[in-house]
Structure formats: structure tokens, C-alpha cells
Amino acid sequence: SQKIEQNSEALNIQEGKTATLTCNYTNYSPAYLQWYRQDPGRGPVFLLLIRENEKEKRKERLKVTFDTTLKQSLFHITASQPADSATYLCAPASPPSGGYNKLIFGAGTRLAVHP
């Protein structure tokens, strides 16, 4: 069955450093992968989407890579700030024949950025 693995341990980093979060998947060939941010008591918020034919995608301080050979996506936050502290969820996806976008999420990695 499809399996998505994210760092189970919380990631603690110092403000200003780069945070790198990992998403590995098995038994799956997604056409694209989405990253979401979730704060306590809130629903996930979309951050970035990367397609299988894209190696890298950037948005402000965020960068996502997608290696279909390694079956892995890396999510980077540069110049991290305490406000970046949250849980980050990855969701590889391939629209089924019906066409709708049913997301399968990893368990998420909790990031804590310390001043």
C-alpha cells in the first residue's frame, strides 16, 4: 500500500538557519506533490505544489525539490523565523480517473524555530 514518511521527530533549529524537512514515499508514483502548513487548532494551509517534471520550485523563502528516482521531496525554509514554527505536511498525489484531487497526507513534521 502507499506509504508516506516524514521526519517523526520534531525539528528544532535556531532563527536564521535553514530548515530542511523530508518527505519519502513508497509504492507510489505521484504526478505532483503538495506541501501544507498546519498550526495548532487550525486546518492545513497550502504552501507549494511541485510537478513530477519539475526538479525545484521556489516561493519567497521556501524551496521544494522533487526527486522521482529517490521517491523523495525536500522542503526548505531559508532564514527561518519563529513565526515559521508549525507542522508541515506533504501530500503526494495523482488524480484518479475520476479527476478529483484526493490528498493522502504524511503524518507531518513539527518545526520549532528558536530565537
Partner 1 sequence: GAGVSQSPRYKVAKRGQDVALRCDPISGHVSLFWYQQALGQGPEFLTYFQNEAQLDKSGLPSDRFFAERPEGSVSTLKIQRTQQEDSAVYLCASTLTGLAGIETQYFGPGTRLLVL
CB of 113 to partner 1, least distance (A): 20
Residue selected from 49, 62, 74, 112 as contacting partner 1 according to rule CB under 8 A = 49
Size of the site for partner 1 (CB under 8 A): 26
Using the minimum distance from each CB to partner 1, give the nearer residue, 11 or 104: 104
Q: Is 11 exposed, middle or buried (0-12, 13-18, 19+ CB in 10 A)?
A: middle
d(C-alpha 32, C-alpha 65), whole Å: 11
Q: Which of residues 50-109 bind partner 1 (CB under 8 A)?
A: 51, 89, 91, 93, 95, 98-108
Can you tell me whether residue 53 is helix, strand or coil? coil
Using the minimum distance from each CB to partner 1, give the nearer residue, 63 or 110: 110
Number of Cα atoms under 13 Å in the Cβ half of residue 81: 3
Residue selected from 41, 69, 83, 115 as contacting partner 1 according to rule CB under 8 A = 41
Contact 113, 82 (CB under 8 A): yes
Using the minimum distance from each CB to partner 1, give the nearer residue, 45 or 70: 45
- Joined together, the cell numbers standing for residue 43 give 486546518
